[in-house]
Chains A and B, each alone.
Chain A
Amino acid sequence: MKSLSTRRRHPLAAFVVLALALAFAGTLFAAFLSPSSASADSGTSNAQAIANGKALYETSCSSCHGQNAEGSSYGPSLVGSGAAAVDFQVSTGRMPAQQPGAQIQKKAVLYTQEQIDEMAAYIDSLGGGPAVPDSSKYQVDDNLVQLGGVLFRTTCSQCHNFAGEGGALTDGKYAPSLTQTNPKAIYEAMLTGPQNMPNFPDSVISPMEKQAIISYIVTMRDEPNYGGAGLGRLGPTSEGLFIWTFGLIALLLFAVWIAAHTTKASAERVAKAKAATGAKGGKE
């Protein structure tokens, strides 16, 4: 027994055991209980994907978009929207929408990429439409940044602002910020024109031009604010707000410091000083 107690447990031992137990349980859960496992393992064929997608569609989408994606008063027809549109809307969490309306908010994503691909395959099977771009189309190319900037300012900045911070549209709608959007979603948005955004098919903005725009957006959002704190990259409004709050208060505080009455010595200190000079005088 003594040998056991000589190998005292490390104080963190309990936590290590707990972590291991959780990991084990989690793995079991993932292996046997998570919904995606069934289709992930099975190496689906296209027909299988469409069938799965149809099932997902009927559960989550048909109440607004119609039993056969023909549309209803709550949502437009998806026939001909294409896989890219589905991929964009669902992978950014916009769909399934909380409520019908002109502005659909981004929110938590409810499906795995697997499931999104299946829904996309289903919608694509109904009427074709723009396909999901392959990753080479939205890679950042440093040589295209300059062209991308010109194109961005010609076509995008009027809604999304010069730094992609977003902007107001009519009746409470808005063009969202692009500073966190992933490149694939940007490509798909240009291609499919989600909600009130106009669409820009490849005949109007070529794939190379789209890639240039994406290269510019990603490069700019990673770019440091050379001059200092960026104040939100919203332009002179935030600069004015800053100077009238922080700047004015600081300057007024300096002025108050300069002109304020200096602290006077307390009565005891004055008396002490008088006594000290009196004593000195006495000494002389």
Chain B
Amino acid sequence: MKRLDYRCATALLGFVLLTGCAGVEHSQQELDAARVSFQKVKHDPLVLRSAPLDVVRAGEALTRAEGFSGYWGSSADVSHYAYLSLRFSQIASEHSLLLANQERLAALEQERQRLQQALRDAKLLSVQQQGQAQDEQMVSLTRTQLDRGLVMTLSDVLFEPATASLNASANRTLLKLVQFLQLNPRRIVRIEGYADNQGSQAQNLQLSVERAQEVANVLEDLGIDKKRLQVQGYGEAYPLAENASRRGREQNRRVEIVFSDEQGNLSPPR
């Protein structure tokens, strides 16, 4: 019985303390934190522009918290309204970050479009300078395969040796490809990278992925929607020729572009 008494008394005392004095110091700290945050957002023009209502609410909640702080035993209310005020200030400043990002995005998007147009013009110019002679080299094959549909092969010579970078002679092919995709807006493509069997399997797989990705990047830079471009690397699988000769290996190092039909149905990956 005695023990129960003691426990009950402690519990009640705890309850009183919780709502009463023990919270005072803590609630003062919360109030101070809310004040500091409100001061910060109150004079920030970007915050005021992006979330004026939240700033007003932060001020109102702070006023209520300050009002309660004058009364004994209301530290829980002080804490509560200080908390709300702090949250409103935080929400307001988060919205201002968002607005700043959005404005930056809009500016960068214009810049991107300008650069994209410049790149297209530059590539066109370089193609005109190169003349027709290299045409054959670039598109070694565009053919229809029974199970895969229309396939275009970008040969190894379009890439810098052993890297994923496309060289200038790839421009004509890529521009043609872009033109074709713009004329056929529903068609999508899968860009598949292949390698020869020299070096480790992992390296070959990586190079094949990187080359396919590079082609996708350039197509995207020239204005093709990323959603229309699938990228797949096959490493040294599916060779076109034997890997024993230099010529065979050269044929195996390639990027193939598989086209969907006009409805956008693409054959499944190998």
**A and B: partners?**
no
